[in-house]
Structures are given as structure tokens and as C-alpha cells.
Amino acid sequence: MARRVFDPADYDIPLSREEFTDRVVEQFHSLYRDSLSIDELLLHPSEAMHFCDLVRRKFAYYGVPDNVILRVMIARRKSGGR
């Protein structure tokens, strides 16, 4: 079964997928300032959940699940983005 492509509109977020990803990735870099990679974050589940909670609170993305927030960062890394 194929995974559905994330669409911020599904969560009432008025951004494109790219803009949403930019915000999440920028927040990650702002918090961890090159001290932690996304791969390392995923090895610390409680820290990953904390990061997702911070993103939800900061941007009012209350309905977006952890796996979506983390997945957009992984997709950005895999695509060679920042």
C-alpha cells in the first residue's frame, strides 16, 4: 500500500508542502544548531517527540502527527536539501 503524499491543507495549514517543510527544517536547525542530525534525533524518541510538540505549539500545527513532522525532514534530507 502506497503512502499518501502529505498535504498541509489536510490539516488546515495554509502553506504549500515546500513552505511547511521549510518551517519545520528551519525550526530544527534553529534548535539544534548542527549539534544533532535528523538521524540522531530519531535515535532519541523522547527528544523527537519534544521537537514535534515544539513545532506544533510554535506554528499552531496542533493536528499534525509526529510521524508527518519527522517524515518531511527525512524527505528533505534524502532529496539533498538543507
From residue 58, how far is each of 1, 45, 67, 77, 80 by CA, in Å? 33, 20, 17, 22, 26
Is residue 80 over pLDDT 60?
Answer: yes
What is the rounded distance in angstroms from the CA atom of residue 81 to the CA atom of residue 6?
17
User: How many CB atoms are closer than 10 A to CB 48?
Assistant: 19
Block residue for cell numbers 515544539: 54
Enumerate the H helices of 6-65 as residue ranges.
17-32, 38-42, 45-59
pLDDT digit string (tens) for 35-67?
999 999 999 999 999 999 999 999 999 999 999
pLDDT digit string (tens) for 12-43?
999 999 999 999 999 999 999 889 999 999 99
